[in-house]
Amino acid sequence: MSRRKPQSPQEKALLDKARRYMPGATLGNAPSDYDDGFIVQGGRGSRVWDFSGNEYIDYLLGSGPMLLGHAHPAVVEAVRQQLDQGSTFFLTNGAIIQLAEEICRAVPCAEMVRFTTSGTDATFQAMRLARAYRRRDLILKFEGGFHGSSDYALQSVTPTRLVDFPTPVPGSAGIPRAIGDTMLIAPFNDLDTTTAIIQAHHEKLAGVIVEPMQRILPPVPGFLEGLREVTARYGVPLIFDEVVTGFRFAYGGAQEYYGVTPDLAALGKVVGGGYPLAAVCGRAEIMRAYDASAVAGDEFIPQIGTLNGNPVAAVTGLATLAELRKAGAYQRLHATGHRLRAALLRALEQAEIPAVVSGEDTVFDVYFTDKPITTYRSTLAADGAMLKRFNRLLLDRGILKGGQKFYVSLAHTDSDLDQTIAAIKDAVGHLRG
Ligand SMILES: Cc1ncc(COP(=O)(O)O)c(C=O)c1O
């Protein structure tokens, strides 16, 4: 198997500069598995390359948005055409209205859309909408669920201190203690406990936010349906965080894929086609809080962002969605993931390494454990050090992936998969050693 070329003087110099000017020498995003100096020079299709002359088959995909692959010709052309007409206006523009219409056509819960620039802001806005609508403060989120980097979202994301539900554990320095008083934490995939928490707190509950597939934990049968039922019973808005799943699991996202419609959804990643755009969408009755002419002064939510609804991101989103509407796109995407996921599982089984391959066909990864994985707490039993080693072995064999995610794209070819599967087999062979 080919190994990575050693770091070039150019990459070393860049890394030195990054160390000098950027905390941790990173954007804060990259898994620590790569922080010995992986600096991306460019990408095209299913491939990215670094400054040392190494090329990788990319299953990180910009952490999900690049569902068509890098520099897709239709997306590049859309940018080219838009650039001549200006890149940002702060005003409603033609392209963003078209994108709003397309989102409402595609996403079951979407009657209206408000745009943001990041998924973090979209989930933050969704929580604020629920709070404004219900005139209450408490939001229930799930342990292990990730909704971006706001003070609310960062409660109980990867807690190592396990406390009783529904008490939150802050996941970052700098979060005011008072935020914890506005959040409830429940165990994903445990409908009984979640229902009991909702029943006990429904009078003060503003909303429930959930990743329909939490990280790479699919919902157990009946979980999302039960959550829908109990939130509807108490008139509590259910928010799906579809930043990962939107336009990836299906054109209508996880709500189409799993057949459960929330009241609000946060979209990001794919909807912007790799440019900074995200959105909150949902029932008009809740979304009207953004319309000063439709609600009383104290019901109004001002939502202002310099780059929100940016026309370049709008046209790249529209170009991406147009590709996804082409016949067979989702079948191809699911088939790609299915083949890779099955091969990963087979390689681990043949090597007799205890492992669970968790997720859905378009996003998945391995937990090194022989125990079933359904909740955040069950994931703690998995061997994280082994996963880090596996990621590293794959990187050395030209396969780039996230810390705990393989994202697949429409750009991955059969020959990419052949090469990836060979690399996986070889990496698995070296895993124990
Ligand atoms: C489920 C989920 N929600 C929200 C976010 C935050 O989105 P962004 O990174 O655009 O702020 C992410 C980012 O990965 C995510 O995975």
CA 267 to centroid of ligand 1, rounded, Å: 9
**Cβ distance 359 to 365 under 8 Å?**
yes
Q: Residue 64 CA: which ligand 1 atom is closest? A: 14
Q: Any idea what the Cα angle at residue 340 is, between residues 335 and 345, rounded to 5°?
A: 125
Q: For residue 47, what pLDDT is reported?
A: 98
Q: Residue 242 CA: which ligand 1 atom is closest? A: 1
CA 118 to centroid of ligand 1, rounded, Å: 8
Q: Residue 145 CA: which ligand 1 atom is closest? A: 1
Closest protein CA for atom 9 of ligand 1: 119
Flag whether the pTM goes above 0.95: yes
Q: What is the pLDDT of residues 45-68, one digit of tens each?
A: 999 999 999 999 999 999 999 999
Cis omega (within 30 of 0) on the bond before 166? Answer: yes
Closest protein CA for atom 10 of ligand 1: 119
CA 15 to centroid of ligand 1, rounded, Å: 26
Q: Residue 148 CA: which ligand 1 atom is closest? A: 6
Residue 226 has a CB neighbour count (10 Å cut-off) of: 17
Nearest CA to 320 out of 75, 60, 103, 117 is that of 75
Residues in the chain where the model's pLDDT stays below 70? 1-2, 31-37, 433
Q: Residue 268 CA: which ligand 1 atom is closest? A: 10
User: Contacts by 341-350 with C-beta closer than 8 Å and gap 24+?
Assistant: 341/406, 343/417, 343/421, 343/424, 344/406, 344/424, 347/421, 347/424, 347/425, 347/428, 348/428, 350/428
Q: For residue 432, what pLDDT is reported?
A: 82
Q: For residue 29, what pLDDT is reported?
A: 85
CA 353 to centroid of ligand 1, rounded, Å: 31
Write down the domain spans for the chain: 9-63+328-429, 73-324
CA 108 to centroid of ligand 1, rounded, Å: 21
Q: For residue 31, what pLDDT is reported?
A: 57
In degrees rounded to 5, what are phi and psi of residue 228? Answer: -60, -45
CA 7 to centroid of ligand 1, rounded, Å: 31
Closest protein CA for atom 4 of ligand 1: 147
* Ligand 1, pocket residues at CB < 6 Å: 63, 118-120, 123, 146-148, 211, 241, 243-244, 268, 278
Q: Residue 269 CA: which ligand 1 atom is closest? A: 10
From first CA to last CA, the distance across the chain in angstroms is 17
Strand order in the sheet with 399-401: 40-44, 47-50, 55-59, 399-401
Q: What is the pLDDT of residues 73-100, one digit of tens each?
A: 999 999 999 999 999 999 999 999 999 9
CA 182 to centroid of ligand 1, rounded, Å: 21
Domain 9-63+328-429, second-level architecture:
Alpha-Beta Complex (3.90)
Q: Interhelix angle for 329-350 vs 414-429, to 10°?
A: 20
- Which residues contact residue 375 at a Cβ distance below 8 angstroms, ignoring those fewer than 6 apart? 143, 144, 187, 188, 189, 190, 217
- Choice from 188, 215, 241, 243 to test ligand 1 binding pocket (greatest atom count within 8 A of CB): 243
**Cβ distance 186 to 142 under 8 Å?**
yes
- Choice from 123, 267, 365 to test ligand 1 binding pocket (greatest atom count within 8 A of CB): 123
The CATH number of the structural domain formed by 73-324 is 3.40.640.10
Strand order in the sheet with 278-282: 112-116, 278-282, 264-267, 238-242, 205-210, 138-142, 183-186
Q: Residue 120 CA: which ligand 1 atom is closest? A: 11
- Choice from 244, 245, 280 to test ligand 1 binding pocket (greatest atom count within 8 A of CB): 244
SS3 state of residue 422: helix
Q: Residue 278 CA: which ligand 1 atom is closest? A: 10
Q: Any idea what the Cα angle at residue 200 is, between residues 199 and 204, rounded to 5°?
A: 95
